[in-house]
Amino acid sequence: MSTIDIFQMISIAGRRLLQVCGLIMVASLFFACSTQEQPAERPNILFIMADDHALRAISAYDKAYNLTPNIDRIAEGGIVFENSFVTNSICAPSRATMLTGKFTHINGKTDNVSRFDSTQWTFPGALQQVGYQTALIGKWHLRSQPVGFDHWEILNGQGHYYTPVFVTAEGRKSEEGYVTDLTTDKAIDWLDNQRDKEKPFCMLLHHKAPHRTWMPDTTDLYLYKEVNFPVPDTYFDSYENRRAAREQKMSIIEDMDVVYDLKMLDKEGELKTKYRNAFQRQYDRMNEAQRKAWDTKYEPLIEDFKQKNYQGKELALWKFQRYMEDYLATINSVDRNVGRVLDYLEANDLTDNTIIVYTSDQGFYLGEHGWFDKRFMYEESFKTPLLMKLPKRFQKIGGSVEALVQNIDYAPTFLHYAGAETPREVQGRSIHKIIDGTENNWRGSVYYHYYEYPNEHMVKRHYGIRTDRYKLIHFYNDIDKWELYDLKNDPEEMNNLYDSPSYQETIVGLKAQLQGLQELYQDTDRSTY
Ligand code: SGN
Ligand code: CA
């Protein structure tokens, strides 16, 4: 063999080697790319939640009271869930349900008083484990420190509207400004400057507003000046056949404080109400400019109120209008700030790969049955708004959806889209098949259980079932009363049919279904109810 042949052989072998190496490199590059690309394709999740935001105060649902053009942007091209429910209509239990996908008797957070065990399984922790960047900004209210977040910055307890205190792992500090703006500033800052942009994100952006005591931003003070809001038909409800409804303490007429709730903090100190001092403390959190703007708005109202000295029905109607004006004004700030976050997503090409959700921790009464607050299994507080807009590859339907969804369903839904497993113990179901239009075996009823009694607002303990047509509720503890509503004929739930002879068969059927749900959700320990 000549030297040339030897060189040729070496070069052929070398070329082969190079080819093989090349193939290996191409193949490994391909696999490397596909494993690297997969996370990039996983959708981001932006989970915006307000506190006590009634469905009727979102114009995508109802335009009777206010316009929320930015929140409605999620509904445009997105999905409006008409029958979205909570499991326990109060803040911390609802948040615990949403995080764990479990009813509150399972996750342990049945009321606002107890401490949530944040070391248990939650969806943000699960997303973090599969490579998501997770963040929580705003209201938390679970008493324990958040777990499962790469970044968290929360309000202390209920939070304050003005000069709120933010808490991080390092400590707490008050910040000058208005809570909804500050919470949004922090969210945008994390999205823009702090997260690892190589990874998908899941951000929980949880506003304090529109929670009591409904203190608007100074820029929104005159928004509803002289607007006459329609008074609900049930405002002067006398609670016939409904003892638990009669015995609550969340009546606008009876329990709403004219200073604390309705801002009649007169300088002369003549309006000495039960919670005057508590409101004084909120007022004192404003800086000089804020206070000046505030006084310019409220002083003439206070003067007018004192001079008119309303009584009876006139006072009741004045209170309703005053309440609505402030409640809705705090929502205007939420809406404006939702717009800022949506603009940020758009400007940074994030909209097409982000699941955007807007919800509330529960519904709220805007004068129906004469009430503010929540807690009852009646429609206004059992229902909660839910708007979702998803990347086109996931969302095949749009507009209104009637399926009965519940806040146990959020966790499995997010995990589904992240391509992660949902543990068997999770009680909710992913709603992805509703969203892609392929679901044909969805649940026909939802279960509810409320526990916080005796406590503020004195809503008695109760549990119940709701189907698309009926609702059966059992109030227990220091009472033993059942209520049945035919939602088709009586959507305002004024006519308790429990003792009506023509509904006895329906009741037997509903009680059997109710028992089935209690077994399904493992709420059968009778010693607790
Ligand atoms: C506070 C409110 C109540 C409200 C609870 C629970 N009182 O205690 O009116 O029902 O929160 O709300 S206040 O005087 O402090 O405003 S929740 O949304 O956190 O569950
Ligand atoms: Ca709430």
Extract long-range pairs of 231-236: CB within 8 Å, 24+ residues apart: 231/317, 231/320, 231/367, 232/366, 232/367, 232/368, 232/369, 233/492, 234/368, 234/369, 234/370, 234/492, 234/494, 235/316, 235/320, 235/367, 235/368, 235/369, 235/370, 236/313, 236/316, 236/370
Model pLDDT for residues 449-464, shown as the tens digit of each residue: 999 999 999 999 999 9
Res 4 pLDDT > 70: no
Percent of the chain surpassing pLDDT 90: 91
């220091």: which residue's tokens?
A: 478
Task: Return mean pLDDT, the chain.
Answer: 93
Q: Which atom of ligand 1 is nearest to the CA of 211?
A: 18
pTM: 0.92
| Cα 382 to middle of ligand 2, angstroms | 12
| Cα 259 to middle of ligand 1, angstroms | 16
Res 40 pLDDT > 50: no
Q: Which atom of ligand 1 is nearest to the CA of 91?
A: 20
Q: Exposed, middle or buried, 353 (CB in 10 Å: 0-12/13-18/19+)?
A: middle
- Residue by residue, DSSP assigns 324-350 as HHHHHHHHHHHHHHHHHHHHHHHHTT-
CA-proximal residue: ligand 1, atom 19 (nearest) = 91
Amino acid letter for position 10? I
| Cα 381 to middle of ligand 1, angstroms | 14
- Comparing 23 with 368, the larger pLDDT belongs to 368
| Cα 381 to middle of ligand 2, angstroms | 10
Q: Which atom of ligand 1 is nearest to the CA of 90?
A: 20
d(CA 504, CA 500): 7
Cβ of 58 below 6 Å from ligand 1: no
Output the pLDDT for position 330: 98
Output the pLDDT for position 528: 72
Ligand nearest the Cα atom of residue 158: 1
Listed in sequence order, the residues at least 6 apart from 24 whose beta carbon sits closer than 8 Å to its beta carbon are none
Least confident range of 11-20, 243-252, 278-287, 387-396: 11-20
| Cα 288 to middle of ligand 2, angstroms | 30
- Within 10 angstroms of residue 186's Cβ, the number of other Cβ atoms is 19
Cβ of 261 below 6 Å from ligand 1: no
CA-proximal residue: ligand 1, atom 12 (nearest) = 91
Q: Closest by alpha carbon to 252, among 264, 241, 237?
A: 237
Taking every pair of Cα atoms in the chain, the longest distance, rounded to a whole number of angstroms, is 119
Mean pLDDT of all residues in 344-362: 98
Q: Exposed, middle or buried, 529 (CB in 10 Å: 0-12/13-18/19+)?
A: middle
Mean pLDDT of all residues in 329-347: 99
Where are the strands (E) in 295-421, listed by range? Answer: 354-360, 386-389, 399-401, 405-406
Cβ of 51 below 6 Å from ligand 1: yes
Output the pLDDT for position 517: 98
| Cα 493 to middle of ligand 2, angstroms | 22
Cβ of 212 below 6 Å from ligand 1: yes
| Cα 211 to middle of ligand 2, angstroms | 6
Cβ of 73 below 6 Å from ligand 1: no
Q: Closest by alpha carbon to 139, among 108, 167, 98?
A: 167
| Cα 213 to middle of ligand 1, angstroms | 9
Model pLDDT for residues 112-128, shown as the tens digit of each residue: 999 999 999 999 999 99
> 162: pLDDT confidence band, cut at 50, 70 and 90?
very high
| Cα 288 to middle of ligand 1, angstroms | 27
Residues 294, 299, 301, 306, Cα dihedral to 10° = 140
Output the pLDDT for position 32: 40
Listed in sequence order, the residues at least 6 apart from 91 whose beta carbon sits closer than 8 Å to its beta carbon are 51, 52, 112, 141, 361, 362
Res 184 pLDDT > 60: yes
Mean pLDDT of all residues in 303-311: 98
Cβ of 49 below 6 Å from ligand 1: no
Res 175 pLDDT > 90: yes
Output the pLDDT for position 33: 38
> 525: pLDDT confidence band, cut at 50, 70 and 90?
confident
Mean pLDDT of all residues in 408-425: 98
d(CA 187, CA 206): 10
Res 299 pLDDT > 70: yes
| Cα 156 to middle of ligand 1, angstroms | 14
| Cα 51 to middle of ligand 2, angstroms | 4
Q: Supply 88's token pair.
A: 């326990």
H helical segments located in 42-90: 69-75
Mean pLDDT of all residues in 291-298: 98
CA-proximal residue: ligand 1, atom 18 (nearest) = 91
Instruction: Specify the 3-state DSSP secondary structure of 528.
Output: helix
CA-proximal residue: ligand 1, atom 10 (nearest) = 373
- Comparing 82 with 13, the larger pLDDT belongs to 82
Mean pLDDT of all residues in 215-223: 98
Model pLDDT for residues 465-514, shown as the tens digit of each residue: 999 999 999 999 999 999 999 999 999 999 999 999 999 999 999 999 99
Cβ of 449 below 6 Å from ligand 1: no
Res 26 pLDDT > 90: no
Residues with CB under 5 A from ligand 2 (ion): 51-52, 91, 361
Cβ of 211 below 6 Å from ligand 1: yes
Cβ of 383 below 6 Å from ligand 1: no
Q: Which domains does the chain show, CATH number per domain?
A: 44-214+323-440 (3.40.720.10), 224-321 (no CATH)
Mean pLDDT of all residues in 75-102: 98
Cβ of 109 below 6 Å from ligand 1: no
**Do residues 397 and 71 touch, judged by C-beta distance below 8 A?**
no
CA-proximal residue: ligand 1, atom 8 (nearest) = 456
Q: Supply 40's token pair.
A: 């990039």
Ligand nearest the Cα atom of residue 53: 2
Q: Which atom of ligand 1 is nearest to the CA of 250?
A: 9
Listed in sequence order, the residues at least 6 apart from 427 whose beta carbon sits closer than 8 Å to its beta carbon are 101, 102, 103, 106, 408, 521
Ligand nearest the Cα atom of residue 373: 1
Cβ of 50 below 6 Å from ligand 1: no
Output the pLDDT for position 41: 86
**Do residues 107 and 97 touch, judged by C-beta distance below 8 A?**
yes
Q: What is the DSSP letter of 272?
A: -
d(CA 282, CA 237): 32
Percent of the chain surpassing pLDDT 70: 92
